[in-house]
Amino acid sequence: MPLTTPSVFPAASAAFMKWPSRRSVVHSTKGMVACTQPLAAKCGIDILNAGGNAADAAVAVAAGMNLTEPCSTGIGGDMFCLYYDAATGKVSALNGSGRAGGKCTLETIRKSLDIPEGTVGKIPMDSVHAVTVPGAAAGWVDTVERFGSGRLSLEQILTPAIELGVRGFPVSELTAYFWQKSESSLRSASPNFAEMLKPDPSAPDGYRAPRAGDIIRLPHLAQTFLTLAKEGKKGFYTGRIASELVKVVQDLGGHLTLDDLSHHLETGSEPVAPISLKFTGQGLSPQTGVELWEHPPNGQGIVALMALGILQHLESISQIPTFTPEDHNTTPYLHAIIEALRISFADASWFVTDPNVTRVPSAELLSPEYLAQRAKLFSPKSANSDILSPGDPYASPALSSSDTVYFAVSDAQGNAISFINSNYGGFGTAIIPKNCGFTLQNRGANFSLDPKHPNVLEPRKRPYHTIIPGLVTNLADDSLHSVFGVMGGFMQPQGHVQVLLGQIVGGLNPQQALDAPRVCIGAGMPDEGDVYDRTVYVEEGMPQSSVDGLRELGHKVEVVSGQGRALFGRGQIIRWTVDDVERESGVWSGGSDFRGDGGAYPA
């Protein structure tokens, strides 16, 4: 039996709001969409109201997000999802990530980048060699085919987004900020930049990035969606779109070919077995505990599972206490989370890669014996500077924040989907195939160019992936607890741990768990600092006593405010409970990060 609705909320308190946010939890019995863009959410709500299920609506939202937040996501990127089927209670995973080109050997790319012999080097984020085959288009189609209701066609599902692109829409505040910040990148990346700028006769060349509230039309992207809707995956991975994609890449010196796109068409998205960890720590029991589900490698969800497992073991041997709600975001609480995450990232940075090319020992990494061994690195009295040394060549390739969109969708039948789609960094490479209206991702920058590393670049290989959807079930009966996620590169597993524990330890409702100040270990984008720096970034609003305490334990702490808080990601949560009296009546309860433009919207 799912938990009852009162479990969503903390105990009654005279405190109105612990953090500077006035958002309340949103409830619905018919389903919900939680995402960073209201207009994209409406695309999903339209599909739910038309009889589609959570999976159908998620694809509609993904397309809407490509239009309304192209500075984070798009059909030129990759996607992952976790799907909860209410009828069977089964959790399924879909890997919609693309691969390196068949001609992208280590020798070829090193030569193309003029990397000197004896130097490891790296693929720059803005390089054409960072382009991997886009997996999102196939992922959208496969999501509908494998998890969809069967009541709506792909064309019906994509129609709300297509109409948005043709008719135009006003741009939200944060999207406008990042669009303007990236205008120079769009202009320099390819000759087709005008397709993703606003026509304006007063601009020097007649085009500019949109400002907040400006109406922008993206007809080329709408046409790409229409082609996918009418022709399916074949319309994207062969024909005009494929030819223009390959042409712009090759014109810029890249090595992708039409065969690479055909290969992905034939291969499709990969159904994979999700990985999980049963968590009974912090006052939970086998009856009240939860199971956290994550997407397996090549994604980094295993980091969140390992960190929770380490924390669970530390509690069992009395190295950390069973924290109370009053302990949430105190020094001992944050210190334990920070150190558990450092240990987990140190392992993931070496082991996480494409399991179809190199074996990834997920089961061994999550075994109680191994986690107990790794937990020995923890000291409650000081930060361990030896877990991951600055400049370590095998430090996580994901030690950077990135631009991604995460969203959650549920429906009236009790199904729910945790969905994430990303360009990787911002507009990705910002390269636009002619008359296609989307940018190509730069996920290939996550490959290692060290031949000894498991994540080394190889032809037709998928890189270490930062994007991870999350899903939680109740241990007692495997019923759904929640779908959730926190987007933002290296921040994602850190956000998963903090947001989930905020609800378990802090007794926070979904909105409060997202509102609470967060910490992030590791620097920002590679072009903004040393990604191997050991700084613990602390969000403005964290108690000063906690900041001081972390410093006393030996952590290098920096408080982040203003626009810099984008580092801490943007999350969404949708909880599932049943009415306390009418046990047959289910309730969806959603929260949406105030760091984004959107919200949680009921069907």
CA angle at residue 391 from 385 to 397, to 5 degrees?
105
Between CA 331 and CA 547 the distance in angstroms is 7
In 3-state terms the chain splits into helix, strand, coil percentages (rounded to 5) of: 35, 20, 45
Count of Cβ atoms closer than 10 Å to residue 511 Cβ: 26
C-alpha distances in Å from residue 119, one per residue of 116, 153, 450: 6, 51, 9
**Residue 4 designated active-site:** no
8 A C-beta contact, residue 574 and residue 484 = yes
Residue position matching structure tokens 């998963």: 496
Cα–chain-centroid distance for residue 561?
22
Residue position matching structure tokens 């066609």: 153
Q: Rounded to 5 degrees, what are φ and ψ at 331?
A: -60, -50
Between CA 308 and CA 301 the distance in angstroms is 11
Q: How far apart are the first and last CA of the chain?
A: 24
**Given the residues 404, 429, 466, 577, the one annotated as active site:** 404
8 A C-beta contact, residue 475 and residue 469 = no
* Residue among 342, 454, 350, 351 at smallest CA distance from 388: 342
Between CA 31 and CA 54 the distance in angstroms is 8
Both tokens of 271, joined, read 């159904």
* Residue among 132, 142, 97 at smallest CA distance from 257: 132
Task: Give the number of C-alpha atoms closer than 13 A to the C-alpha of residue 298, restricted to the C-beta side.
Answer: 28
Cite the DSSP H helix spans in 69-105.
none
Q: Residue 460 gets which letter from DSSP?
A: T
Classify the C-alpha dihedral 87-88-89-91 as positive or negative: negative
Adjacent-strand bridge partners of 484? 470, 573
* Residue among 83, 139, 462, 80 at smallest CA distance from 298: 462
Contact residues for 301 (Cβ-Cβ < 8 A; gap 6+): 275, 294, 295, 468, 469, 470, 493, 496
Between CA 58 and CA 20 the distance in angstroms is 30
Residue-wise over 466-477: b if at least 16 C-beta within 10 A, else e? bbbbbbbbbbee
Classify the C-alpha dihedral 25-26-31-32 as positive or negative: negative
Between CA 70 and CA 119 the distance in angstroms is 35
Q: Rounded to 5 degrees, what are φ and ψ at 433?
A: -65, 140
Question: What residues are labeled active site?
Answer: 404
